[in-house]
């Protein structure tokens, strides 16, 4: 088996084609880097990943290169020896290699790499302003972290720093603090290799190099927000997040984007139950390293003042607030009476924005009233066609595809369909029963855009006498309802979404819902007469035991999710 030695520790690499940074990662050794990114081409421009490289011969002798090399650009093979600047912290249980005498004479293993890292950081900080108190990257800046871990304690810079003007007009959502840029060019490579739109370039040479856009071509592609995540030093800032929060006040929860059926894995950053930022979470089973701007900036609906925040009951043609202690028993009584009178006339609409667990509890409640109650799938919003990247200069998608923004704008159609199939043997779209004269209708919405649900309502739709609407925002359905119950956003609940490809991802709650609102999972508990607080993990185990397609959810769901069968 091909073996690489990282700080004397042997690591088997198998058939993988790795560079020194990746091989060191297999040995639990971190090599600092700025310009290198797994999803982008290698340019070796920052020089932060300099390592000492050599080769271990079959007879056990070691031959080392006389100079340090960029680890990101140096491939490894069987017998490659990698020595990092952290060699002094190596695993002492591993036997030291027999380094040649002329190599050790110039310094102990790792000394060259350590000096190179310190020199690199000194060079990067020559012109970089130390404006950490106002920089949005403070707290998660690699320049800060690496300077502390690998740099010198004092700067020898005495000349005035080169401070080119900032570029707030880079795009409508992104600003460029030019003087903070270290020219790693991750952003430039992203627009050329992932989005394919190539709006960014390097303008000038040497000391005068700057990131800029081509004239008349601002950075406005649908994946542009990723360059802010890629920037390691705070040069590129998101106008949506700029100066809103310090990162050490934020609570980060791993979630799943709910704005299309791709189901991008995300980090949700919130403080005091207010969502401030979404970032892509790497997941090779879902979307890779990135996410689209539609999802990244699509969280504001959760903070909207237009949301329903408490139950309301229509009396004398006007909605009036009502406590849950009063509403829940009334709902159960009126629904039971409607089912006893005509079970076929009672329909429950399960939204594709519900989690698997919520759909299962709500569907189980209605089927528990009568097997003749019909469960339907709520309107599935579809906007245009799948948008594939990268694109050529004419906007046409080119192969290989690296990112897809799905036309289907809901996160869990397949999960809800699995529940519906289990509970009644078929998936009935709401459109198939919308024109019938119904006695009672429960409409579980949760659509972030009211228009998504309204698009699935026939123009001649007549609301039944007993209409319960559970949603986030006012719509045609809520206006005709007798009961309006506040819905919760995906940030305020825990559960499981199944994306377009059958990838089931479970996620936790990032923020609490409004004080008088209840999650759909808790409401399902209340309707079924279960006691205690609803827990998604408990319901998920119940679902896994009942629905064979969802059986892999029975244990602990991995962070990257679990792929379900076809």
Please give the torsion angle defined by the CA atoms of residues 428, 429, 432 and 434, in that order, rounded to the nearest 10 degrees: 120
Beta-carbon contacts of residue 535 (< 8 Å; ≥ 6 apart): none
3-state secondary structure 209-261: CEEEECCCCCCCCCCCCHHHHHCCCCCEEECCCCCCCCHHHCEEEEEECCCCC
Q: pLDDT of the chain along its 566 residues, tens only?
A: 899 999 999 999 999 999 999 999 999 999 999 999 999 999 999 999 999 999 999 888 999 999 999 999 999 999 999 999 999 999 888 888 999 998 888 789 999 999 999 999 999 998 898 899 999 999 999 999 999 999 987 778 888 888 899 999 999 999 999 999 999 999 999 999 999 999 999 999 888 899 999 999 999 999 999 999 999 999 999 999 999 999 999 999 999 999 999 999 999 999 999 999 999 999 999 999 999 999 999 999 999 999 999 999 999 889 999 999 999 999 999 999 999 999 999 999 999 999 999 999 999 999 999 999 999 999 999 999 999 999 988 889 999 999 999 999 999 999 999 999 999 999 999 999 999 999 999 999 999 988 888 888 888 889 999 999 999 999 999 999 999 999 999 999 999 999 999 999 999 999 999 999 999 999 999 999 998 889 999 999 999 999 999 999 998 999 999 999 77
Tell if the pTM clears 0.95, that is, is over it: no
Classified as helix, coil or strand, 182 is coil
CA distance 517 to 508: 18
Task: List the structure tokens of 557.
Answer: 């769901």
Quick one: which of 414, 409, 416 has its CA closest to 381? Answer: 409
Q: Which residue has the tokens 């403080």?
A: 271
CB hemisphere CA count around 72 (13 angstroms) = 20
Quick one: which of 381, 380, 371, 358 has its CA closest to 485? Answer: 358
Domains contained in the chain, CATH given? 3-121 (3.10.20), 131-137+164-303 (3.30.70.20), 328-381+411-563 (3.40.50.740)
Bridge partners, residue 52, by sequence: 83
| Start-to-end CA span in the chain (Å) | 36
CB neighbourhood size of 499 (10 A)? 29
Quick one: which of 292, 289, 273, 272 has its CA closest to 281? Answer: 289
Buried b (16+ CB within 10 A) or exposed e, 203-237: eeeeeeebbbbeeeebbebbbbbbbbbbbbbbbbb
Three-point CA angle 158, 161, 167, nearest 5°: 170
DSSP state of 96: P
CA distance 466 to 483: 8
């Amino acid at each position: 088996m091909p073996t690489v030695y990282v700080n004397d520790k042997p690591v088997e690499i198998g058939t993988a084609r790795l560079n020194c940074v990746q091989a060191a990662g297999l040995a639990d050794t971190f090599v600092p880097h700025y310009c290198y990114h797994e999803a982008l081409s290698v340019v070796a421009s920052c020089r932060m990943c300099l390592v000492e490289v050599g080769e271990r011969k079959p007879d056990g002798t070691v031959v080392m290169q006389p100079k340090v090399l960029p680890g990101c650009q140096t491939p490894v093979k069987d017998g490659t020896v990698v020595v990092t600047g952290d060699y002094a912290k190596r695993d002492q249980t591993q036997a030291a290699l027999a380094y040649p005498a002329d190599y050790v004479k110039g310094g102990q293993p790792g000394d060259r790499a350590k000096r190179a890292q310190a020199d690199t950081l000194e060079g990067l900080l020559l012109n970089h302003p130390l404006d950490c108190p106002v920089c949005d990257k403070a707290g998660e800046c690699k320049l800060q972290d690496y300077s502390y871990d690998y740099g010198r304690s004092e700067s020898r810079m005495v000349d005035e720093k080169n401070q080119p003007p900032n570029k707030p007009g880079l795009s409508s959502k992104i600003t460029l603090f030019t003087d903070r840029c270290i020219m790693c060019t991750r952003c430039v490579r992203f627009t050329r290799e992932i989005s394919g739109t190539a709006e960014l370039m390097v303008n000038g040479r040497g000391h005068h190099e700057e990131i800029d856009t081509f004239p008349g071509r601002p950075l406005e592609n649908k994946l542009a927000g990723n360059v802010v995540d890629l920037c390691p030093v705070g040069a590129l800032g998101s106008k949506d997040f700029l100066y809103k929060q310090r990162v050490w006040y934020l609570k980060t929860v791993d979630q799943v984007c709910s704005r299309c059926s791709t189901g991008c894995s995300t980090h949700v950053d919130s403080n005091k139950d207010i969502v401030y930022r979404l970032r892509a979470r790497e997941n090779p089973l879902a979307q890779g390293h990135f996410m689209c701007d539609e999802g990244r900036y699509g969280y504001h609906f959760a903070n909207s003042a237009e949301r329903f925040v408490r139950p309301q009951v229509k009396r004398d043609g006007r909605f009036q607030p009502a406590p849950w202690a009063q509403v829940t028993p009334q709902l159960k009584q009126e629904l039971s009476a409607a089912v006893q009178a005509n079970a076929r006339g009672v329909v429950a609409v399960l939204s594709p924005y519900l989690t698997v667990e919520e759909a299962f509890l709500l569907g189980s409640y209605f089927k528990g009233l009568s097997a003749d109650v019909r469960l339907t799938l709520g309107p599935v919003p579809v906007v245009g066609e799948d948008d594939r990247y990268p694109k050529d200069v004419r906007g046409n998608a080119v192969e290989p595809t690296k990112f897809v923004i799905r036309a289907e704008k809901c996160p869990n159609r397949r999960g809800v369909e699995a529940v519906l199939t289990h509970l009644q043997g078929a998936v009935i779209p709401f459109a198939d029963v919308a024109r019938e004269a119904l006695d009672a209708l429960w409409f579980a919405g949760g659509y972030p855009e009211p228009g998504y649900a309204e698009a699935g309502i026939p123009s001649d739709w007549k609301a039944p006498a007993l209409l319960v609407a559970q949603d986030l925002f006012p719509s045609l359905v809520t206006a005709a309802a007798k009961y309006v119950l506040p819905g919760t956003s995906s940030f305020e609940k825990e559960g499981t979404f199944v994306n377009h490809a059958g990838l089931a991802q479970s996620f936790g709650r990032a923020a609490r819902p409004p004080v008088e609102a209840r999650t759909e999972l808790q409401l399902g508990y209340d309707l079924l007469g279960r006691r205690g607080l609803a827990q998604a993990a408990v319901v998920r185990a119940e679902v896994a035991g009942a629905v064979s397609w969802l059986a892999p959810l029975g244990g602990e769901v991995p962070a990257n999710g679990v792929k379900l069968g076809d």
